[in-house]
A and B are shown apart, each in its own frame.
Chain A
Amino acid sequence: MTDQSEHSRPPMTRLLFVLVPLAVMLGAFVWIASLDPLRGFNNGAPPVEALTVERTILDGSGISLSVRAGGSEAMVVAQVAVDDAYWTFTQEPAGPIARGAAVWLRIPYPWVLGEAHHVNLLTNTGATFGHEIGVAVSTPSATWGQLRLQAVIGAIVGLLPVALGLMFFPAMKGVGRSGMNFLLALTVGLLAFLLIDMTAEALELSGDAAAIFQGSAMVWLAALASFLLLMAIGRWRGNPEGLALAFYIALGIGLHNFGEGLAIGGAFAAGSAGLGTFLVLGFALHNVTEGIGIAAPMLRARPTLWIFAALTLLAGGPAVLGMWAGSLAYAPQWSALALAVGAGAILQVMVEVSAYLVRQNPDRQAALISPSVLAGFLGGIAFMYATAALIKI
């Protein structure tokens, strides 16, 4: 048992083996910082500067920007020009902005409803950082009426389609094996569409975040972590099936709808042009498949009405929470993170629904390319793609 003999060092010795490299590391850092052996590389270049605008608030007192610095040194915002006019501003907190720190810039600028504005931040080195306000509208505030209104929209976006989809449950109940295969494959297909859509969205958002958050790596790693964690939790007591699987799907779709709500809440205040109820209807149609997908794995079970209510809340309710969070505390990196976690969850349910589908068929792998499964999978993707066209312009 050589393994055990290696583990038999006294605790003090092992502690020492940990402390020695730590001490060497500390010493090396102190040495590098004090002697600055890299000064030979100093070529007189100005420091690298980076500023990211994370939030924009427009209200009766003007324009407020939350700005995060990411330069190689602390940065100084020396002047602010709005629409090519230097304007007074205050900074909270004042002073140089440390790397990674965020400040608020308050600019008493009389912005004009419905028009575009361009804010230019000029640092002490003369570098400029532009920020576009595409359509100026007053930023919603956390009033009761505002929150209620957002909840209504969140419900239309999240709860309604899921509930509508679940209402197909009785109709789906009596299908045979190939009908079951079709529905499960349809579920995987629509999930595949959501996975691609969410990942693309998360990566796009992460591109707007400050470099310090390493957007792309953050998105992929968060998705991977969420996938692995949910897989582990799901398989804690055997393969998830029936009701359990339905709840996992609802959770994955719920996370997706939370991300959706975040983006909607954000854009709600950012002044996207009004385009009418047509889009809302398109969205409801687009998301009805979510309810069908949740219902598919529990066709062999006998869920109570309460189960349906719980599934609807779990899958659709987060859209409301997302709406609130998105309009009250939006930052691109957090929205990207939420979407990435959702993408991992979607991947988990895709794997589990596929595994369930395979287990349902005696011929196992062959079932995966049976006409009903292929038709369901491709049909799911096609339906999502086609209805998405309604809400993309």
Chain B
Amino acid sequence: MPVDTSKRGREVSSAVETSLPTAPPGVVTEPVSASRRALLVGGLVAAGGAAVAASRAQSQETPDPMAGHAMPGGAVDPYSAHDSGMAHGNMTMVGQVDHAGNGFNPTAMLTDWEVGRTEIMPDGRTLRTFEVEAIDMEIEIAPGVFFPAWTFNGRVPGPALRAKEGERLRIVFRNLGSHPHSMHFHGIHSARMDGVQGAGLIDPGEEFVYEFDAKPFGCHLYHCHALPLKRHMHKGMYGLFVVDPDPARHPEFAAVAASRVLGSPENAEWQELAMVMNGFDTNFDGENEVYAVNTVGQAYMNAPIRIDKSRPVRIYLMNATEFDPINSFHLHGNFFDYYDTGSQLTPTLRTVDVIMQCQAQRGILEFSFADHEDGLYMFHAHQAEFTELGWMGFFDVREAGA
């Protein structure tokens, strides 16, 4: 959590103190550029400095009972560490996003797995069919800030597709948007199904069916592979593609594998969360203005994620941030095991509290709050810039039903 360090700045030597912001509002100007007048003024300021110092120093002899606390008139003191009830102080966006207007809610998206529909094929294998549509949509990514997105199924990130290792997958993709689009899956499949030019990249109004086996197991992604790639990616065309391991194929880790199979009894005790780290370049200058996890900046600050402390937590985390090479995840007050790409059943990293992911990198985080006090535990990117531009949230850790 970034903290106001400037408080300390107030307690430096009295010479500096004199020009610190103790005066009530006056009025003034833009910095004048390096013209004759501006520079001249520098000298004048210096010349007058001693006089200012003298007069201010006197005025400060009277102790201020409100120092360091609320400002007179009930105004917020930006330099106080105690002035705001929330952990983020004044470093927050103003207002609330209309989730209903967006048609998707970041809190619901955490557990909203798209499992499609299944049928048994003649050979006994499961055929799982997903239907995905590309739709142009304006979405509110921060309170009052609207972004002209390209979406899969009207949400950003797109639906979190979930299948099981070894299943046959069929994804029916329809392009209802205004530009050519595709679905390029990170998985093992033939070139014909790759979602690039000539392999499922379709024009508006067209339809394509991708078909391949669900492998390897892990935490993967899909995204549009139309050109220009950066524009199609950062406009919102990406989503999680999770393949659960088949316990029968991993007898040495059958229990671990079983806990990752959505809907299994072993899986039921876990709290699983789908998180996609993303950013939005609202003015199209090649830099993101808003960072988030699951699109809406600071969504989980305003609505902390409820965690039942008796149950372990598993996060399927993916980095879909465009323009910035890496993103990261930091958990407060706790450590976790990390399974990079989720394609192994033993952790890649044990007992860490920060992991980083490059673009399109993803993995699984597992941790528990069982022995913790109740409370709000923060999580955020540890690039403070991303944090302060929206990518931060809270886990609200309590007993079940508390």
Contacts and interface: CB of A to CB of B under 8 A. Distances in A.
Interface in A50-74: 53-62, 64
Contact of A267 (B41, B71, B94): B41
Interface stretch (B30-38, B107-115, B327-335): B30-38
A21 interface: no
Given A79-B93, A142-B26, A272-B45, A264 B143 contact: no
Contacts of A285: none
Given A110-B6, A156-B47, A263-B35, 7 more contacts: A78-B144, A109-B90, A268-B44, A270-B31, A276-B46, A278-B43, A279-B40
Contact of A141 (B24, B76, B297, B389): B24
A137 B18 CA distance: 11
Contacts of B48: 149-150, 152-153
Contacts of B49: 274
Nearest to A128: B283
Contacts of B55: 145, 149
B41 A139 contact: no
Interface stretch (A219-227, A236-244, A295-303, A323-331): A323-331
A267 B9 contact: no
Interface of A: 53-62, 64, 76, 78-81, 84-89, 108-113, 120, 122-128, 132-135, 137-143, 145-146, 149-150, 152-153, 156-157, 197, 201, 204-205, 208, 260, 263-280, 282-283, 326-330, 332, 388, 391-393
A267 B38 contact: yes
Contact of A61 (B5, B42, B71, B390): B71
Nearest to A142: B26
Contacts of A264: 37, 40-41, 44
B228 interface: no
A60 B9 contact: no
Nearest to B142: A79
B78 interface: yes
Contact of B39 (A59, A61, A275, A277): A275
B25 interface: yes
A277 B282 contact: no
Nearest to B4: A110
A108 B297 CA distance: 20
Contact of A113 (B19, B33, B37): B19
Contacts of B42: 267, 272-275, 279
Contacts of A109: 78, 90
Contact of B282 (A127, A156, A279): A127
Nearest to A272: B42
A145 B54 CA distance: 10
A268 B23 contact: no
B37 A260 contact: yes
Contact of B28 (A84, A270, A283): A270
B125 to A, nearest CB: 46
Candidate in B4, B7, B45, B55 with the most chain A CB atoms within 10 angstroms: B45
A122 B289 contact: yes
A269 to B, nearest CB: 3
Interface in B260-295: 280, 282-283, 285, 289
A153 B28 contact: no
A59 B31 contact: no
Contacts of A127: 282-283
Contacts of A327: 26-29
B79 interface: yes
B99 to A, nearest CB: 16
Interface residues of B, number: 70
B278 to A, nearest CB: 15
B78 A57 contact: no
B35 A201 contact: yes
Candidate in B5, B41, B71 with the most chain A CB atoms within 10 angstroms: B41
B16 A330 contact: no
B206 interface: no
Nearest to B24: A141
Candidate in B4, B78, B95, B283 with the most chain A CB atoms within 10 angstroms: B78
Contacts of B23: 59-60, 138-141, 143
B197 interface: no
Contact of B79 (A84, A110, A156, A326): A110
5 contacts: A88-B90, A138-B21, A140-B23, A279-B42, A279-B44
B31 A267 contact: yes
Contacts of A276: 43, 46-47
A111 B6 contact: yes
Contacts of B280: 126
Interface in B58-104: 71, 75-79, 90-95
Contacts of A156: 44, 47
| Interface pairs A-B: 10 shortest CB-CB | A126-B282, A279-B43, A141-B26, A78-B144, A266-B29, A85-B388, A274-B46, A269-B28, A263-B37, A275-B42
Given A86-B389, A153-B47, A275-B42, A61 B26 contact: no
Nearest to B385: A84
B52 interface: yes
A274 B41 CA distance: 8
A8 to B, nearest CB: 58
Given A153-B48, A267-B41, A110 B78 contact: yes
A277 B94 contact: no
Candidate in B22, B29, B35 with the most chain A CB atoms within 10 angstroms: B29
Contact of A280 (B44, B93, B95, B297): B44
B190 to A, nearest CB: 39
A89 B36 contact: no
Contact of A56 (B29, B39, B146, B297): B29
B20 interface: yes
A134 B26 contact: no
B321 interface: no
B205 interface: no
Contacts of A275: 39, 42-43, 46
A111 B298 CA distance: 23
A35 B34 CA distance: 51
B145 interface: yes
Contact of B21 (A58, A122, A125, A134): A58
A134 B91 contact: no
A276 B44 CA distance: 7
